[in-house]
Amino acid sequence: MTDFITSFAQTPVLWFVLAAAALPLLPKGNARAVITLIAPIISAYVIWNAPAGAYAGASLAGLDVTMMRVDKLSVVFGLIFSLAAFLAALYAWHVKDSVQQTATLLYAGSAIGAVFAGDLITLFIYWEGTALASVFLIWARKTPGAFNTGMRYLIIQIGSGVILIAGIAFHYQTTGSIAFESMTGDGPQNWSLGIWLILLAFGIKCAFPLLHNWLQDSYPAATVTGTVALSAFTTKMAVYCLARGFPGTEFLIYVGAVMTLFPIFFAEIENDLRRVLAYSLNNQLGFMVVGVGVGTELSLNGTAAHAFCHILYKSLLFMSVGAVLYRTGTSKASELGGLYRTMPLTMMFCVIGAASISAFPLFSGFVSKSLILDAAAENQYPYVWAALVFASAGVLSHSGIKIPYFAFFAHDSGKRPAEAPRHMLLAMGLTAFACVFIGVFPDTLYSLLPYAVDYKPYTWAHVLAQMQLLVFALLAFALLMRYGFFPEEKRSINLDTDWIYRRMMPAIIGLVVALVSTVWSELSRGANLAINAGQNALARIYGPEGQVAKVQPTGYMVLWLAILLGAALAVNLVVLN
Amino acid sequence: MAKKPQSENAPISPIGKRLTALEKPQVIQRMIYGLAVFCLLLFLADFMHIRHGKFEIEDLLGFYGFYGFAAFAFIIFATKFLKTLIGRDEDYYGTNAVDREDYPDAELDVKDFSRD
């Protein structure tokens, strides 16, 4: 146990746990908010100064676990998670709900613990940690709808953990190892069941196609500040796990390509802007999964870089829409519009986030996404490359244009909300600054990447290609808008795979219940009839009015006695002769 | 939450006031022309042949531009069809779903000057 504690003390997770433990001891208010800001700063410091290598080992139920495996891949994820936790805490400065503060700390801590896990058991513990901590950010909304959504979210997240531990058990049985290393071996055709289960668990949290809908279901249901934290950790932890465990798995390229495409269409028709961002998050994960699938140094660098930039601009977009929700009470496109008048700063930060995710030159998305696109092209995947370029135009449509346009411009909703509070503006300002800084000085980010980078994003050819793609798409938007082809936003929802477990399965279960109960009630009615009939027959014979209960004259008795004696006599006669 | 005096008296900020010009139809028309001219310039830049793409198709004049335009237009028209297919009323999943609920006021600091 002591080796466990001393090892745990070497991890950055310690500071999140200490902060979460200290939180209730402090008076409500700014002191608690300060604690939530300090923990990520210390965590980043610990990660920055952590020596490379594997250490902080301990023995857990007879298995040797490693809590710190420090290399460039884990460090870049650890640092961006710490930065995201800091920005989310700053954005949530006004929150007085200690449940949310504690949940955010433990959630960020678990995600950081997971990226430094050197073995699968440690990974599993933190994997479940993120699920348990994060659900409170949804429940904190304190409405029946949020409770139901949280339950669905928790079932799927815990389900992914159960699949993970089952996979680990199978994997341990076949290999005798719990080390968290690349599991690709000599190709998927030779993978054991354990490895497939582990990949499935990663795939659920990474929102693979058809496993994705927990994300769009739950993130818009969380609190204003909770969604900012949710957007950063769970899915990018899964991306890290894929990059660590399954680099160069070719079919992931196609999985990723599908992920970049289908959310575009769902995002485009969605009315709730926070759900639009959740679909857009799914689409961005697709780019990272393609990078994992290609598996070259360039593409894995791309995945790490894109995760880094994505966490920042996605947080920024969720923050700006969150600020709108905070001031107006709604995040629905159909209810918003024209807010630039009174929320100009929030609008500008939102536009910076939109430009970053759309990968305009000088913004962060440009310097990270191009690594993945070039890797796909270099390795000669023409269709995947074409899909990714298409998806890049799609990103502009739903995140680049739709989010800022429908919230801050479009038709005037008549709403004149106050500008976002100062701490929110500060958090958004810092995040926006980071997005632009990375876009202008990409080498700062490139120096953090897992492999040495020999890449120049700012070539004339590259800038021209990207500007053509985006500006022509903008022209398409302007023309469609001008001539009334652009669909209006109406209050509505859209079906997705959650329909299966929110409508179809309950309907099937209802049908089965109705069937079983009908059969049961008919059977028991039949049995009742039979029993009643039997009872009545018996009562007719033995009841008070029955045959047996009748008063019999004495003569009958004598007669029967005589018959009995006669019979006995007859039997004796026969036997004796 | 501390009061924000700057927005109390002047709900529309100076930046916001300047941007209201964007709502004039002639300004919108001019912006579209500007965008079209910018597109034309970007297209003409392709005649310098500075791009040597990894695929042949990339070297076609204006490939990225036309692909971007077509992709965007396709997405918008495809979503019109998709919306009729999978769009539903907000109360489709009953009343205990977040889409039907108002966000609880206790978590918010709503400030709206439109009715003042």
Indicate the residue type of A397.
S
Residue of B nearest to A410 (CA): B23
- pLDDT score, position B115: 56
Of A149, A414, A461, the CB nearest to B114: A414
- How close is the nearest chain B Cα to the Cα of A12, in Å? 31
Q: What angle is formed at CA A575 by the lines to CA A571 and CA A576, rounded to 5 degrees?
A: 115
Predicted ipTM of the assembly: 0.89
The reported pTM is: 0.90
Residues of B with Cβ-Cβ distance to A479 under 8 angstroms: 32
pLDDT in tens, A357-379: 999 999 999 999 999 999 999 99
Percent of chain A at pLDDT exceeding 90: 84
Position A577 scores a pLDDT of 64
Is residue A81 within 8 Å of residue A32, measured between CB atoms?
no
Q: How far apart are the first and last CA of chain A?
A: 97
Chain B environment of A419 (Cβ under 8 Å):
4, 6-7, 13
Average pLDDT of the residues in A313-335: 95
- Write the CB contacts of B100 (distance below 8 Å, at least 6 apart in sequence): A145, B90, B91, B93, B94
Q: What is the mean pLDDT of residues A450-454?
A: 92
Q: Are A473 and B68 in contact (CB under 8 A)?
A: yes
Say how many CB pairs under 8 Å bridge A and B: 238
From A496's Cα to the closest Cα of chain B, the distance in A is: 8
Residues of B in contact with A480 (CB under 8 A): 72-73, 76
Banded model confidence at residue A46, pLDDT cuts 50, 70, 90: very high
Flag if B39 and A330 touch (Cβ within 8 Å).
no
Q: Which residue of A has its CA nearest to B76?
A: A486
Q: What is the DSSP string of A182-229?
A: ---TT-GGG--HHHHHHHHHHHHHTT-TTS-HHHHHHGGGS-HHHHHH
- Residue A454 to residues A74, A297, A354, A441, B51, Cα–Cα distance (Å): 21, 10, 27, 15, 19
Dump pLDDT digits (tens) for A512-566.
999 999 999 999 999 999 999 999 998 888 888 777 777 777 788 889 899 999 9
Contact B98 A146 (CB under 8 A): yes
Whether the per-residue pLDDT at B1 is higher than 50: the answer is no
Above 50 in pLDDT, residue B2?
A: no
What was the pLDDT predicted at B108? 87
Q: Do A494 and B86 touch (CB under 8 A)?
A: yes
Rounded to whole angstroms, how far apart are CA atoms A223 and A3? 39
Q: So what's the pLDDT on residue B8?
A: 46
- Is pLDDT above 90 for A59? no
Check B54 against A374: CB less than 8 A apart: yes
Q: What is the pLDDT of residue A84?
A: 97
Tokens representing A295?
Answer: 């598996």
Angle between helices A273-294 and A382-395 (to 10 degrees): 160
For the segment A565-569, the average pLDDT, to the nearest whole number, is 92
Q: How far apart, in whole angstroms, are the C-alpha atoms of residue A329 and residue A301?
A: 40
Range picked from A70-84, A405-419, B87-101 for highest mean pLDDT: A70-84
Q: What is the pLDDT of residues B53-69, one digit of tens each?
A: 788 888 888 899 999 99
Across the range A314-324, mean pLDDT stands at 97
Contacts of B104 in chain A (CB under 8 A): 141-143
> Using CB atoms, which residue from A342, A421, A471 is nearest to B35?
A471
Contact across the interface for A327 and B111, Cβ inside 8 Å: yes
Q: What is the pLDDT of residue A293?
A: 96
A221 contacts B79? CB cut-off 8 A: no
Q: Which candidate from A328, A393, A422 shows the least CB-CB separation from B112?
A: A328
Distance from the Cα of residue A176 to its chain's centroid:
30
Do B42 and A472 make contact, defined as CB atoms within 8 angstroms?
A: yes
- The proportion of chain A whose per-residue pLDDT surpasses 70, expressed as a percent, equals 100
Tens digit of each residue's pLDDT (9 = 90 or more) over A431-448: 999 999 999 999 999 999
Confidence of residue A482 (pLDDT cuts 50, 70, 90): confident
What residues in B contact A494, CB-CB < 8 Å?
Answer: 83, 86-88
The mean pLDDT of A12-32, rounded to a whole number, is 93
Q: Tell me which chain B residues have a C-beta less than 8 angstroms from the C-beta of A385.
A: 54-55
Contact A342 B20 (CB under 8 A): no
**Between chains, do B97 and A145 touch, taking CB under 8 Å as contact?**
yes
* C-alpha distance from A461 to closest chain B C-alpha (Å): 5
Output helix, strand, coil percentages for chain B, rounded to the nearest 5. 60, 5, 35
- pLDDT of A387 reads 96
With an 8 Å Cβ cutoff, are A464 and B42 in contact?
A: yes
- Chain A nearest C-alpha distance from B76 (Å): 7
More confident of the two residues A150 and A543: A150
Which residues of chain B does A397 touch, with a Cβ-Cβ cutoff of 8 Å?
72, 75-76
Residue A562 corresponds to which amino acid? A
Q: Do A149 and B51 touch (CB under 8 A)?
A: no
With a CB cutoff of 8 Å and minimum separation 6, the contacts of B34 are: none
The CB density around residue B1, as the number of other CB atoms within 10 Å, is 9
